[in-house]
Copies of this chain bind each other. A is one copy, B any other.
């Protein structure tokens, strides 16, 4: 996705961020709200309540987008704020893919003991391979983490590493679209998400390799 496209999307919501900042909302309020909504969306995914999950995911993404704007508008951007924001984002995203894996594992076995969601409904669609999709969800969880990890690790080594087609907003948007489309299309969307996230990790590894080669003596 191009920066221009993303920037245009973000600019629509900037007035909302400024308005919130004027009403005394601090960026860490939005960070915590975003995490809470991500965890709720993860629970809804685990239950198989995909429509609700998609809505909650959208709200969580909005909080994510706005916390940076509010920080800038209130002049409260801080190093610890940036650190905490990144860390909680990882928890929220990890929970989402873990929730999806839980759904596929328990669908394969005929129902979760924890979350009595609409598994009967999804059984109508048949179950091509719940365990395979669960493993795919876990692989995507690991890759999504790696996208963020490779950037942080590269920056720790003094290198810039922002390349890649599939950052967190794009991943969440794709997941929300998959949830919205429902159990019939979710496996396909998950497959696309897995592949594009894998490509992003490889892009970053290749980028760091190129940077370190060019600075080598």
A residues whose Cβ falls under 8 Å from a Cβ of B: 78-80, 82-84, 86-87, 90-91, 94-95, 98, 101-102, 105-106, 108-110, 112-114, 129, 131-132, 134-135, 138-139, 141-142, 145-146, 148-157, 159, 205, 208-209, 212-213, 215-216
Q: Are A114 and B142 in contact (CB under 8 A)?
A: no
CA distance A159 to B83 in the complex (A): 10
Query: Which residues of B are found within 8 Å of A87, using beta-carbon distances?
Result: 146, 149-150, 153, 205
Residues of B within 8 A of A129 (CB): 113
Please state if B110 and A157 are interface contacts (CB–CB under 8 Å). no
**Total copies of this chain within the assembly:** 2
> Which residues of chain B are within 8 angstroms of A213 by Cβ–Cβ distance?
80
| Assembled-state Cα–Cα distance A122/B146 (Å) | 33
Q: For the complex, give the distance between the alpha carbons of A138 and B138 in Å.
A: 9
A83 and B152: CB pair below 8 A?
no
Nearest residue (CB) in B for A139 is B98
Q: How far is the CB of A166 from chain B (nearest CB, A)?
A: 16
Which residues in B have their C-beta under 8 angstroms from that of A157? 79, 82-83, 155
Q: How far is the CB of A161 from chain B (nearest CB, A)?
A: 9
Which residue of chain B has its CB nearest to the CB of A131? B113
Q: Which chain B positions have C-beta within 8 A of A209?
A: 80
Nearest to A102 among chain B residues (CB) is B135
Chain B, Cβ-Cβ closest to A216? B78
Do B83 and A142 touch across chains, with their CB atoms under 8 A apart? no
Residues of B within 8 A of A90 (CB): 142, 145-146, 149
Taken together as a complex, chains A and B put the C-alpha atoms of A102 and B87 apart, in Å, by: 26
- Is the CB–CB distance between B114 and A80 below 8 Å? no
- Given known pairs A98-B142, A112-B131, A145-B145, the reply for A208 and B152 (CB within 8 Å) is no
